[in-house]
Structure 1
Amino acid sequence: MSYGLLKGKKGIISGALDENSIAWKVALKAKEEGATFTLTNAPIAMRMGAINQLAEQCDAKVIAADATSVEDLEKLYTESMDVLGGKVDFVLHSIGMSPNVRKGKQYGDLNYEWYMKSLDVSALSFHKFMQVAEKVDAINEWGSFVALSYIAAQRAFPFYNDMADAKATLESIARSYGYRYAKAKKVRVNTISQSPTPTTAGTGIGGFDSFFEFADKMSPLGNASADDCANYVITLFSDLTRMVTMQNLFHDGGYSTTGISEDLMAMIQKNA
């Protein structure tokens, strides 16, 4: 069911790899709610994924851009404004990658060059998205930036490795740039801390299946799906949330504020 929440709005959605991606779901929902937008991803991710299929469904142009490259981001904004016929109203940052996680390096044995890559791709790219947008004046007043985060930014999850540090940095950038952009252009900046979600990236983390089940039993509402997350992102793009900024918003079925659940206690007692 469409509510027309984004009617007339323009945007940029990054990070859609395949139909399991949260960004993919956001694009479909944004189209349904009346938005026009461009899609972007790194060239290598575009070769691995199915973004052109999504572009056809959404009648959207795909613009390749390395999110760590200021030059590529300048091109992304310039081309997007040309294609869309003006400044944009929303940007989704759905980008994260850790070479250390991919290659099985433990937190006490990190490759520091890879660690810096994790930070650059997963966190500093969000700052670059906003700094470039501000400099080229690409965002309308009351625009909205949203990035996807995870609770490992606040709590220790050993399997999440250096991505936890990257997410903590991401959330800090959202607060600092959120203040700056609100004062300058009334643009709001938020992160969403999502439940464990079986995306292509998420399932690549060791022990994902076990933790997915654990989180589902801990959360009184269960894990939030990618579709649920897309709905939440749309509200943050819409005018309904004009006064929400600099926040990390937990979208996790209540996991983040539950000490222990009855389901988990029953499971422990059964196995005792």
Structure 2
Amino acid sequence: MISRGQRLTIWSLVWLSIITLSLPTVVVLGASFTAGNMIAFPPEGLSLRWYEKIALARDLRQAFFRSLIVAGVCTLVSIPVGTLAGLALSRFRLRFAGVIQVYLLLPFTIPLIGSGIGLMLVFGQWGVLGSLWPVGVACAVINLPFIVWSVSSSAVLLDPDLELAAQNCGAGRVQTFLYVTLPAVMPGVITGSLLMFILAMNEFLVSLLLTDARIVTLPVQIYNSIRSIITPDLAAVSVVFIVIALAAIWLLDRLVGLEIFLKSK
């Protein structure tokens, strides 16, 4: 049984962690509503002027839509590749399964700048730099392990007898996959897809290396702005990113459930 002192220590650490993690978000949120001309916390009065400014800023709006395109391409590429790879690693005995597992760890062991430069050289040789779709593909390549692991976690829970039963009833391999296997791993697919979308939306370094001044994404646009002066409109943009992340979490909870998501990690 936990003593009162131990309970007090545990809850103190929990609240300390919550406050530490939440404080930057609270500061940015407060600074975005300031009525002053400089970013400050506590805010100098309350105003929505900076949200109005970013809504009317053509460059920020275009950069935001470019980030949406990059995130969409990343998600569309990663769903079929990550789903099939996750199923293969969890359901079949592959000859080079160990090598593949090590390969999936490379994005976390190789510095992101190295991966970004390598992708930049590859796409440069192909002559496709200057478009948005290579940025989305690059984000998918770098973050692919997340959706692979997510699908693998769901596939482990799938009873193979269900697939055998479908085949015994006359279903072919494609029908079995579409009506039995895919619905069973759909929580992992949805979880991985939303995660890939958010990661691509927030990707900075790869976007910086693969874009030019004509097609900068929103993280790169923010970086270009803070090199001169940090103004409250950048805090408002950060709040927009936070709202998108919260919307993704809400959607994940509605479609899959946060408990399933946490178990898949």
- Sort the TM-score into its range (normalised by shorter chain): under 0.3
TM-score normalized by the length of structure 2: 0.24
Larger Rg: 2
Q: Normalized per residue, which structure has more strand?
A: 1
Using CA pairs below 8 Å that are at least 6 residues apart, which structure has the higher relative contact order? 2
Give TM-score, length-normalised by structure 1.
0.23
More helix, by proportion = 2
